Amino acid sequence: MNVDTMRTIDRWAGIPLTFLLTCWQRLRVLLKRPDVRAPKRILFIELSEMGSTILVDPALRKARERLDAELFFVIFRKNRASLDLIGTIRAANTFTLREDSLLHLVVDTLRFLRWTRRQRIDTVVDLELFSRFTALLTGLSGAVNRVGFYSFHNEGLYRGELLTHRVAYNPHIHIAKNFIALVNSLLAEAKEVPYSKQVVDDDEIRLPVISCSERELDNMHELVRRHCPDYDRQRHRLVLINPNASELLPQRRWMRDRYEELIRRILESAPDVLVLITGAPSEKGEAGEMRRRINNPRCVNFAGALPLARLPALYSIATLMVTNDSGPGHFSAITPLPTFVLFGPETPALYGSLGNSTPIFAGLACSPCVSAANHRKTPCTDNRCLQAITVDQVFAAIRPVLLRQKEGCRGVPGGRHAAGAA
């Protein structure tokens, strides 16, 4: 199913279903005293955003360490591999839902309800901001503790009254800190309205940096050589260009011709650089067209060349990456790779990478135009927020890293300052 179809179903089926489930939950409270149980088997729900599986990791680790809890996760099947990059959640503790058709989604939802009871889930943390479907999963899970974001007096998505721990979503702090706030609600010594009345420090949202084995790195060098026979790991540096973004928000894409011009500039300025155009298997054709237009043997179509689990090895041998605001900008955060992320309809203040990343953001008056308030549905069909970002500006941002790497440095300190439009 495409995104708009899922939003339509979520609205027209989700509103009555969450209302009916709310009535049922309230009737149960009247008939039976609510159970009280410490959170020990915690299920996190995040379905649609692969990058969020990286951004939520600090909250997962805090729940495991502070609550001494076993962690579980439910996610769309197509995004399952993103959970393995850090490995905080055991594979056996993950449940996947197929979203390719309504029938599959219904069947898997029924399987999910049996699975949560078989796993004796006592706590559910709903990480979604915009979904009535995940509110239904939370309410039907059988969990005693149900945590999620709640609109209170704000104009917001109606998701029923299914939560035991209502957390105020804060649109002024990073989403990773909002995820920590969900876990903090379970740590509160007394009931709070709203949760969570605690400070979340920057230190709490740091990610672990993973190390790849020499064998993994050697295999990645060999894979690059197979795609570019002239590649010499002692002589060449790798620059990664990720020109695509998910269908969830196509307005996040920088213009293709500007990526092509940026690649030409990189190749002209650094004769020892190979540019790899990265992407999913479905993006291989578009990447191939870009490579043909650039027409340089040092530009390689690498889209679909490796599974998601091997991305850390690629990032570990590369000099830098330029990417739209999408999954790779977050996946690279668990490596030291200097990454430059182009932002438009969303803001790096809330959704910026937690790694060695420099956001490039024009800061137009209309940007960001997607948020929790509009359920990430923008009316914009003319993404001038990205058109305002020039090739000159991006090249100026990456040039110091190109120069330092050429001189033998292993990268520059990770900065979270935004490179504003000239």
| pLDDT tens-place string over residues 263-307 | 999 999 999 999 999 999 999 999 999 999 999 999 999 999 999
* Six token digits for residue 231: 């590649």
A 10 A CB-CB count for 404 gives 15
* Six token digits for residue 215: 């064998």
SS3 assignment, position 410:
coil
CB 175 within 8 A of CB 350: yes
**Residue range 13-41: mean pLDDT, rounded:** 88
Structural domains of the chain ordered from first start = 3-205 (3.40.50.2000), 214-406 (3.40.50.2000)
Q: What pLDDT, on the 0 to 100 scale, is given for residue 411?
A: 39
| pLDDT tens-place string over residues 191-207 | 999 999 999 999 999 99
| pLDDT tens-place string over residues 327-357 | 999 999 999 999 999 999 999 999 999 999 9
Q: What pLDDT, on the 0 to 100 scale, is given for residue 406?
A: 67
**Residue range 178-200: mean pLDDT, rounded:** 96
Q: What is the pTM of this model?
A: 0.91
Q: Whole-angstrom Cα distance, residue 363 to residue 214?
A: 42
Residue 58, CA atoms < 13 Å, CB-side half-sphere? 25
How would residue 374 be classed by pLDDT, with cut points 50, 70 and 90? confident
Q: What pLDDT, on the 0 to 100 scale, is given for residue 29?
A: 81
Taking Cα atoms as reference points, which of 227, 228, 261 lies closest to residue 243?
Answer: 261
For the chain, how many residues are written? 422
3, with CB counted inside 10 A (0-12, 13-18, 19+), is middle
* Six token digits for residue 49: 């955003």
CB 275 within 8 A of CB 263: yes
**Residue range 372-389: mean pLDDT, rounded:** 86
Bridge partners (DSSP) of residue 242 are 323
